[in-house]
Amino acid sequence: MLRDITIGQYYPADSVIHKLDPRTKLMATMVYILSLFLFRSLAGFAAVTLGLFLVILLSKVPFGYMVKGLKAIVVILLITVIFNLFLTPGEPLISFWKLRITEEGLKNAGFMAVRLIYLILGSSILTLTTTPNQLTDGLEKSLRPLNKIHVPVHEIAMMMSIALRFIPILIEETDKIMKAQLARGADFESGNLVKKAKAMVPLLVPLFISAFRRANDLALAMEARCYHGGDGRTKMKPLKYKGIDGIAYLLVGGYFAAVILLRRFL
């Protein structure tokens, strides 16, 4: 049932992308997201598409697996497309009743849809190829300078990694409790909205209790192992840039330059 949720789940494979330093991947993802909102022409779009699909190919994550993650944004996608389609002023193409579709609207809707889809696909490459631990390590190290202005970087990173770590556990727990209540004849599907909301009580109460119990256990276990925050804490596998990271940075720089040039001249 719930096991099939794929957004943000690590997908183990032996690829170049998996081997990159998480900081490189974070940086590249940011550059990629920026580039999504820079292109205005078909040529720019082609460049972004080329970049995206090259990375997907390199990552060895099955394309179908990635597309499954898009299900979550279908509604947002539809709303965006509809609003752009009907509410953009300009030269009308088709008009009926009070609605009209303009050429600009069509173009805007198309680009917006592509941008959203690419945004999810691109950022899911980051989480699909990086373990949560690596990801938070990368974040912690990239944000280290903020420590100087008293931002608790380590604590934030720790909270993030615990939260990420708990997602699959809580999904599994939900699955278990759901099955246990189904076995007692619970019905989560039929009925109107109020009835459905009521049907969630037997699921949510045990889930909250178990989440609190787990949080409590974890806090105790950390305390028992003398956890005291980030000061003086060393890592078993400290992050280190390797040769491929340099190449990756160069390629990302080249890609960004290309997108900017295309925006300027095409």
Partner 1 sequence: MSIILDKVNYVYSEKTAYEIQALKNINLKIDDGEFIGVIGHTGSGKSTLIQHLNGLIKASSGGIYYNGQDIYDSDYKLKELRGKVGLVFQYPEHQLFEATVFADVCFGPRNRGFSRKDSELKAFAALRSVGLSEDFWYRSPFELSGGQKRRAAIAGVLAMEPEALVLDEPTAGLDPKGRDEILDLVAKLHRERQMTVILVSHSMEDVAKYVQRLIVMNRGSILYDGTPGEVFAHYRELEEVGLAAPQVTYLMHELRKRGIPAAGTATTLDEAKQSILQAFSAKHGSVQR
Residue placing its CB nearer to partner 1 in the complex, 13 or 261 = 13
Q: Provide, rounded to whole angstroms, the least separation between the CB of residue 19 and partner 1.
A: 17
Number of neighbours of residue 63 by Cβ within 10 angstroms? 12
User: Residue written as tokens 């912690």?
Assistant: 140
Q: Judge whether 265 and 47 are in contact, CB under 8 Å.
A: no
Q: Provide, rounded to whole angstroms, the least separation between the CB of residue 136 and partner 1.
A: 22
- Residue 258 and residue 251: Cα distance in Å, rounded? 10
Give the interface with partner 1 as residue ranges (CB under 8 A): 3-4, 11-13, 62, 65, 176-177, 179-187, 201-202, 205-206, 209-210
Q: Provide, rounded to whole angstroms, the least separation between the CB of residue 107 and partner 1.
A: 37
Residue placing its CB nearer to partner 1 in the complex, 165 or 214 = 214
Number of neighbours of residue 211 by Cβ within 10 angstroms? 14
Residue placing its CB nearer to partner 1 in the complex, 4 or 91 = 4
Residue placing its CB nearer to partner 1 in the complex, 1 or 87 = 1
- Residue 4 and residue 241: Cα distance in Å, rounded? 34
User: Residue written as tokens 């974890």?
Assistant: 218
Q: Judge whether 152 and 168 are in contact, CB under 8 Å.
A: no
Q: Provide, rounded to whole angstroms, the least separation between the CB of residue 9 and partner 1.
A: 9
